[in-house]
Amino acid sequence: MRLSLLQAWVFQHLQGMRSKDVWSGYQEEQHPRAMRFIPLSGLGKTDNYKNLLDRLDLSGVVMAPYGLHRQVRPFERVSLFTGWLRYGDRQLRYMPERVLRQFGRVQTILRHPVQVAPPETNLGEISLCFQHALDHTRTTEQLGERAVHGVEAAYGYIEWFYLHSHPHMIIPDIPVPMPMPPKRGVLDA
Amino acid sequence: MHDGDTIPIMNARWWDARLQGTCLSWLQDTSYNQIDHRLICAFVERWHEETSSFHLPFGETTVTLDDVSCLLHSNITRDEAVDWMVEHLGSDPGDAIREVTQTKGAHYQFSYLRKIFKECMLEQLELETEYGVTQEVRRLRDQAVRIYLLYLVGITLFTDKSATVVDVVYLKYFRDLDIVAGYSWGAAALAHLYRELNKAARWNCGQVSRYLTLLQV
């Protein structure tokens, strides 16, 4: 029996990756969310997964899935802490501002990671900073505009993202159209 | 940990009460029997160390502290105790280790934990039958809970490379069972996951599948 935090996270956010059935004994007010889902028996080859991820668009993603779960696990502001996490002698960037949609906000174009968590920070400073995490953490009010439909990004975000990253793994025979954020006018109508 | 001798003892009320109090008992139920290596591999390919996020066609996404809190019901807020924990987790255990154990080295084999767990459980049962719940019985019970917790975090939150041993440094956090619930296990587990993803992302996929036991946190 091994637990996979990553796997639980995938099931939670990407509907196509988990079995449609849920564990029948699951009770929202009692159990951790990880217990709710049942893995798919598998999609076969690794390439199938790559294809699935390449074709993902916003309709297959649940950005902020914990609405019903808030009674048991209220939102904690420390989740919005930005900067370095320390793990022994390693330091790891934690930047919730890059995934604002997971916090129900409109995703904005991002600062360079080096600005958010400067590499010259030493381990002592990191510990000190995390001790006072809430002093450095934005309040939910400071997160920006609420995403009414849960998936919106600021104008130009997706173009900016494709300029800086190459999110596709397999070059398809037929060109895959770049997923555009839904037009606000259409969604609001 | 669970065998014909220990399961009846683990059904006793004291066991449940003590384990629930640590807020780690959920770890027993949040593990999947089946790990989909291909799925994890596909995600590892899209992990970017410099942003600590997955780059997918619709933008970036990642595992947040909030995810850990809701998925595992692990504590993510800090308290006094967390400072010590942040400093010592994953580091060369050094002095901390010496405090915890003098003879067993830096790691416990799971097989060894299973053995001493069983001995501990049987001994407390024997003493209880004969003398009732004495101080010694309570001490043995707490000891059994500690061993069990060490095993539990070893197979779930902090899976080691070999997946057969657990770092004894964690035992220190179980010394006082009444404050276990206060530690920020969630933040530590997330940092551990990021670190393992960073390592895995530097390998190619074929190597990753051999490496995947590491990601089973």
Interface test with B, best of A9, A100, A176 (most B CBs within 10 A): A9
Please tell me whether residues A3 and A46 are part of one structural domain.
Answer: yes
Please tell me whether residues A21 and A88 are part of one structural domain.
Answer: no
pLDDT given at position B97: 37
Position B63, amino acid: V
Please tell me whether residues A139 and A85 are part of one structural domain.
Answer: yes
Q: Is the ipTM of this complex over 0.90?
A: no
Instruction: Determine the average pLDDT of the residues in A55-60.
Output: 86
**A108: alpha, beta or left? (left if phi > 0; alpha if psi -120 to 50):** beta
Please tell me whether residues A67 and A94 are part of one structural domain.
Answer: no
For chain A, how many structural domains are there in total? 2
What are the chain A neighbours of B94 within 8 Å (beta carbons)? none
Please tell me whether residues A3 and A65 are part of one structural domain.
Answer: yes
**Cα–Cα separations (whole angstroms), residue A120 to A131, A175, B49, B52:** 19, 42, 17, 18
Is A97 contained in some domain? yes
Provide the Cα torsion B135, B141, B143, B146; round to 10°. -140
What are the chain B neighbours of A168 within 8 Å (beta carbons)? 57
Taking CB atoms and an 8 Å limit, are B46 and A167 in contact across chains?
Answer: yes
Of A29, A44, A74, which residue is a domain's last? A74
Place of tokens 């770092």: B167
Please tell me whether residues A85 and A52 are part of one structural domain.
Answer: no
Paired sense of beta strands B165-167 and B107-109, if any: antiparallel
Please tell me whether residues A60 and A86 are part of one structural domain.
Answer: no
Q: How far is B136 from chain A (nearest CA, A)?
A: 32
Q: Is A21 helix (H, G, I), strand (E, B) or coil?
A: strand
Q: How confident is the model at residue A186 (pLDDT cuts 50, 70, 90)?
A: low
Tell me the per-residue pLDDT of A142-156, one tens digit each, with 9 for 90 and over.
Answer: 888 888 888 889 888
A92 to chain B, any CB pair closer than 8 A? The answer is yes
Q: What is the pTM of this model?
A: 0.74
Taking CB atoms and an 8 Å limit, are B42 and A168 in contact across chains?
Answer: no
Residue of B43, B46, B10, B42 whose CA lies nearest to B28: B10
Q: Give the residue numbers spanning the domain of A6.
A: 1-74
The one-digit pLDDT tens for each residue of chain B (217 residues) are: 778 888 888 888 888 888 877 777 767 765 555 667 788 888 888 999 989 999 999 999 999 999 988 887 777 765 444 444 444 443 333 333 333 343 344 567 778 788 888 888 899 999 998 988 888 888 888 888 888 888 887 776 666 555 566 766 677 777 777 766 666 777 878 888 888 888 888 875 555 554 554 444 4
Paired sense of beta strands A37-39 and B107-109, if any: unpaired
Q: How confident is the model at residue A183 (pLDDT cuts 50, 70, 90)?
A: low
> How far, in Å, CA of B151 to CA of A161, rounded?
42
Please tell me whether residues A26 and A46 are part of one structural domain.
Answer: yes
Which one has a higher pLDDT value, A63 or A31? A63
